[in-house]
Each structure stands twice: as C-alpha cells, then as structure tokens.
Structure 1
C-alpha cells in the first residue's frame, strides 16, 4: 500500500514537472536566458522544489555545457526533482513546443518571411525579450553581490568587461571562471584538511 502511494506521488510529480516545462517552453520567446527566468519563477518561487542558490548553480552548469541552455537546464532541473525519469520528462516538456511550432512554421516559411505584420510582431518581441534577459542578469547578479564574496564580484565584473568591452569569446570567460572557482574550492578544501 505504501509503495502504491509513493508511485502515485511520483506520477503526480512527473506530470506536474511535464506540464510545468511544457507551459514554460510554450510561452518563452527569446532563447535560453528567458526560459531560465521562467524556470526560476516556477521551480524556486512557486513550487519551492529548488532553492535560489541551487538554481544559480544549475544555470551555471547549463550555460557551460554544450547544447541549448533551455534543454540543459531542463535536464538538470528534471534530474534534481525526480531523477532519471524527471530528466526525461522535463526534456520532453521543453522540446515539444518549439519542435511543433517550428514544424508548422517551416511549412509556411515563405509566407512568414515576407509578411510585414509578422516582422513587426517579432520586433516587438525583441524588446520584451531584452527586458526579460535584463531581469535575469539583475536577479543573478544581485545573488552574487549578496554573497559578499570578493572573488565572485571580481569574476562577475571581469567577465562583463571581457565580453562587453573586449569581445572575448564566452567560452574562454566560462572556462576561466570555472578554473578560478575550482581553485578557490580546492583552497577551501585544503584549509579544511589542515585544520
């Protein structure tokens, strides 16, 4: 009887995860960082499945892994929430809407490409997407500032300067930040061992 209840709870959890990722992916325009904002609101603020710091870590992992950030984030969130089944469920919920929408658009591409109204709608959506990305940057940046870690603040400022002013490839920035973070973690580990 107890095992049946556990299986029902897991099915309910998987269904909620699928519907959440399906909803997020259906109404997210503008790429990976926009979907991260919606994931944070859903999984951190509303459902409380993940705390804010862990979501920041998952976003960093999703960003630094090859592939689409939306799918990478879905993999990590799904795994965190419900293991392997959660991972598959979250990925399916995330890829279905764009796959269906792009399949439909591909049939009517010529009509969409030359339509003035579609072009105007897309221009308006660009402004909205920029605002949502700015919201993500401010939210994640404020979390780094709240930690009051000099290393974190310097890395954030240096990464911004490198990409904004010097047009450094993002891959190099991520690798450098990862190496610095690993060095800091190793130093903390060694201090703990010596104590």
Structure 2
C-alpha cells in the first residue's frame, strides 16, 4: 500500500479510476488491464497475484466487472472510503456519456461516421482484451502449478472447442478452488 496519507491516496484513487473509466472502451476486461497497469505496475499498491485474484472475484460476482473490480481494488487500497471513491470514479464517466448520448440518440444512431468510429474501436478493444489474456495467462504459466495450467487449458478447450457457457466454467473453477483450499487447509501445506 502507498505510504501517503489516506486523503492523498483516496484522491489519487478517485482520479485514477475516473481517468481509466473515461478513456476505456470495451467493458470490464479492458478496464482491468488498465487497473493492473496503474495499481500494480505504476503505483505498486497491489501485487500481480492479488490483482489476478481480485479480477477472478470481480468476474464471478454479479454485476458489471468494472464496478466489481473498482469495489475490490478500492476496498483493498482504502477500505470503505476507498471503495466508495473508486466506484464513484468508475461510474461517473459512463453515466455522463450515456446521459449526453441519450439526449441525442436519434442523431447518433443514424450517423454513419459514429458507426465507423465504433467499428474501429472494436479492433482496439480486441487488442486490449488479447493483452489481458496474454498477461494473466503468462502469470498462471509462471506459477508452474500443474493444477492451474490444467484448469486454464480445460477452460480454453471447454469454451472454444465445445462451446460451454462461461458461467459453467467459472462455477467449476470456483468449486475446484474451494476444494483445493479445503485440502490445503486440511494438510496445512501448499497444494500444487
């Protein structure tokens, strides 16, 4: 955690989340990439493994991934006040943008240039999501844990080869995680 006083941390957290949310298009997976870069790589408030854990919890919780991640990161960095500040910074830009767009929806919907811009943004979003997958996947590979590698490979095959719904994969991985945690607690050691 940062060595700054709490109001300084909360202010930095708010403006970091506001900036990330305002300039990120493509949903929760994209915002998580930028959160990792800011809070893990740049500020060092969270380590990479913890960010991976927070991402998994944000994904498996109901609601928007970006807001879930903001809640978890905010809580980790600044407690309850940090959670409130992070969520406020995360939701203000979309609420503002959606409010403006709703006022001019008819003009936006019929504009071919807006449609082209959105198509172009899809390519950028795909690249950022690929970066997330690569970064988080590399973290799992670095652990050299056979169980983690097997789960990652099985999830990939289940999704892309067999078309299994992602919800079932998340539930199965969560169940496996609970079983492994119980085994680890029972043995009092590390389960690889």
* TM-score interval for Structure 1 and Structure 2 normalised by the shorter chain: over 0.9
Which residue number corresponds to residue 116 of structure 1? Answer: 112
Residue 106 of structure 1: how far off its partner (Å): 0.6
Q: SS in structure 1 opposite 2:45?
A: coil
Please state which structure has a larger fraction of its residues in helix.
Answer: 1
Cα shift readout 1:65-92 (whole Å, capped 9, x = no counterpart) = 0000000000000000000000000000
Which residue number corresponds to residue 147 of structure 1? Answer: 143
Structure 2 length-normalised TM? 0.95
Mark the structure with the bigger radius of gyration.
1
Residue 183 of structure 1: how far off its partner (Å): 1.1
| Unaligned 5+ runs, structure 2 | none
d(CA) in 2 for partners of 1:57, 1:188: 17
Residue 185 of structure 1: how far off its partner (Å): 1.5
Which residue number corresponds to residue 156 of structure 1? Answer: 152
4+ runs deviating over 4 angstroms: none
Which residue number corresponds to residue 3 of structure 1? Answer: none
Structure 1 length-normalised TM? 0.93
Which residue number corresponds to residue 33 of structure 1? Answer: 29
| Unaligned 5+ runs, structure 1 | 1-5
Q: SS in structure 2 opposite 1:66?
A: coil
Residue 13 of structure 1: how far off its partner (Å): 0.9
1:184 lines up with 2:180 in the alignment: yes
1:64 lines up with 2:66 in the alignment: no
Residue 46 of structure 1: how far off its partner (Å): 0.5
For residues 12-27 of structure 1, the aligned pairs below 5 Å read 12-27=8-23
Residue 152 of structure 1: how far off its partner (Å): 0.5
Q: SS in structure 1 opposite 2:62?
A: coil
Which residue number corresponds to residue 54 of structure 1? Answer: 50
d(CA) in 2 for partners of 1:15, 1:188: 39
Q: SS in structure 2 opposite 1:67?
A: coil
d(CA) in 2 for partners of 1:188, 1:94: 36
